[in-house]
Amino acid sequence: MQQHSYGRQTPAQLDATFAALADPTRRALLARLAAGEASVSELARPFRMSQPAISRHLKVLERAGLVSHSRDAQRRPRRLEPKPLALATEWLETYRAYWEASYARLDDLLAALQPAPRRRRPRATGAKRPRSSP
């Protein structure tokens, strides 16, 4: 699995990302933008939704930093900003880390709950071995 290293988002930013992603229309918009930037009218076309309604969704995505738009006066196409999404999807790694930590605690607990394994008594050290002469 590839490692990603991104600057840390604040919890508030991550919350905004998740809130923005919580809507299926917004997720579909992001999926479309992943294929390339598009104007609002282009984005609205597949949805049975008015352009203002699509614009409202886009504003939510923009506030969360997931979408940006260029200043091209003519079309102002929207484009995907992948970094917040990548952080949101790093949850799988967080999930993994959570389980690893829980299992490590379980290891220690299981060891503590069992009788200690019997060990051979260690030999007394140094008592009988002659020192080697220089």
Partner 1 sequence: MTRAGTMSLSTQGDREIVITRDFRAPRALVWDAYTKPEILRRWLGVSPTVTMPVCEIDLRVGGRYAYQWARPKNVMWLRGTYLEVVPQQLIVCTEEFEPRWYEGDGVGRFELTETGSGSALRTTVRTTVRYDSDVVRAGVLKTPMEQGLAAGFNALEDLMAGEGTG
Residues that bind partner 1 in the complex, under the rule CB under 8 A? 2-6, 18, 21-22, 24, 27-28, 30-35, 46, 80, 82-83, 85-86, 88-92, 95-96, 98-111, 113-114, 117
Rounded distance between C-alpha atoms, residue 14 and residue 85, angstroms: 9
**Choice between 45 and 125, CB closer to partner 1:** 45
Distance of CA 122 to the CA centre of its chain: 49
How far apart are CB 82 and partner 1 at their closest, in Å? 5
How far apart are CB 39 and partner 1 at their closest, in Å? 16
**Choice between 92 and 127, CB closer to partner 1:** 92
**Choice between 56 and 86, CB closer to partner 1:** 86
How far apart are CB 21 and partner 1 at their closest, in Å? 5
DSSP SS3 for 78: strand
Contact 84, 65 (CB under 8 A): yes
